[in-house]
Amino acid sequence: MVLVFFMASCYSGASPGTSSYASQCSTRDLILVEDEVTDTEDNEEEDIGVLEDQRSVILHLISQLKLGMDLTRVVLPTFILEKRSLLEMYANFLAHPDLFLTVSSGSTPEERIIYFVEYYLTAFHEGRKGAVAKKPYNPIIGETFHCSWDVPKDKVKQTRTNSPSPSPKGKAPPPPPPENYKLRFVAEQVSHHPPVSCFYCECKEKKMCANVHVWTKSKFMGMSIGVSMVGEGILYLLEHGEEYVFTLPCAYARSILTVPWVELGGKVSILCAKSGYSATVTFHTKPFYGGKVHRVTAEVKHNPTNTIVCKAQGEWNGTLEFTYSNGETKIIDTTKLPIIRKKIRPIAKQGPFESRHLWQHVTNALREGNISAATDHKQLLEERQRVEERQRAISNTVWKPKYFIKEDEGWIYFDPLWKAH
pLDDT in tens, 121-139: 999 987 655 556 678 899 9
Taking alpha carbons only, the member of 381, 386, 388 closest to residue 361 is 381
Residue 326 has pLDDT above 80, yes or no: yes
pLDDT of residue 132: 64
Q: How confident is the model at residue 373 (pLDDT cuts 50, 70, 90)?
A: very high
Residue 25 has pLDDT above 80, yes or no: no
Give the whole-angstrom CA distance, residue 46 versus residue 43. Answer: 9
User: If you ran DSSP here, which 8-state letter would residue 272 be given?
Assistant: E
Residue 24 has pLDDT above 50, yes or no: no
Residue 336 has pLDDT above 70, yes or no: yes
Q: What is the pLDDT of residues 226-247, one digit of tens each?
A: 888 899 999 999 999 999 999 9
pLDDT of residue 2: 31
pLDDT of residue 212: 97
Q: Give the helix/strand (H/E) hosting 280.
A: strand 277-284
Phi, psi at 80, each rounded to 5°: -90, 0
Give the whole-angstrom CA distance, residue 149 versus residue 91. Answer: 10
Percent share of the chain, pLDDT over 90: 58
As a whole number, the mean pLDDT across the chain is: 82
pLDDT of residue 22: 30
Q: What is the dihedral of CA 287, 289, 293, 299, to 10 degrees?
A: -40
Q: What average pLDDT score do residues 28-46 get?
A: 73
Residue 29 has pLDDT above 70, yes or no: no
Q: How confident is the model at residue 417 (pLDDT cuts 50, 70, 90)?
A: very low
Residue 10 has pLDDT above 90, yes or no: no
Q: How confident is the model at residue 81 (pLDDT cuts 50, 70, 90)?
A: confident
User: What is the number of other CB atoms lying within 10 angstroms of the CB of residue 228?
Assistant: 16
pLDDT of residue 418: 42
Considering only CA atoms, give the Rg of the chain: 23
pLDDT of residue 352: 94
pLDDT of residue 158: 77
Give the whole-angstrom CA distance, residue 387 versus residue 393. Answer: 10
Residue 5 has pLDDT above 70, yes or no: no
Percent share of the chain, pLDDT over 70: 76
Taking alpha carbons only, the member of 115, 136, 118 closest to residue 127 is 136
Give the whole-angstrom CA distance, residue 32 versus residue 241. Answer: 31
pLDDT of residue 415: 58
pLDDT of residue 384: 94
Looking at this protein, which amino acid is placed at residue 17?
G
Q: From residue 245, give the alpha-carbon distance in Å to each of 33, 141, 184, 234, 238.
A: 30, 26, 20, 4, 14
Residue 398 has pLDDT above 60, yes or no: yes
Residue 174 has pLDDT above 90, yes or no: no
Q: What is the dihedral of CA 252, 215, 113, 203, to 10 degrees?
A: -120
User: 32-41, 148-157, 286-295 — which one is most confidently predicted on average?
Assistant: 148-157
Pairing of strands 180-191, 144-152: antiparallel
pLDDT of residue 305: 96
Q: How confident is the model at residue 68 (pLDDT cuts 50, 70, 90)?
A: confident
pLDDT of residue 20: 32
Q: From residue 199, give the alpha-carbon distance in Å to each of 89, 90, 134, 310, 400.
A: 11, 8, 22, 29, 16
pLDDT of residue 19: 32
Q: How confident is the model at residue 288 (pLDDT cuts 50, 70, 90)?
A: confident
pTM: 0.83
Q: What average pLDDT score do residues 362-372 get?
A: 92
pLDDT of residue 403: 94
Q: How confident is the model at residue 157 (pLDDT cuts 50, 70, 90)?
A: confident
421: which residues sit within 8 A by CB, 6+ positions away?
A: 1, 2, 3, 5
User: If you ran DSSP here, which 8-state letter would residue 248 be given?
Assistant: -
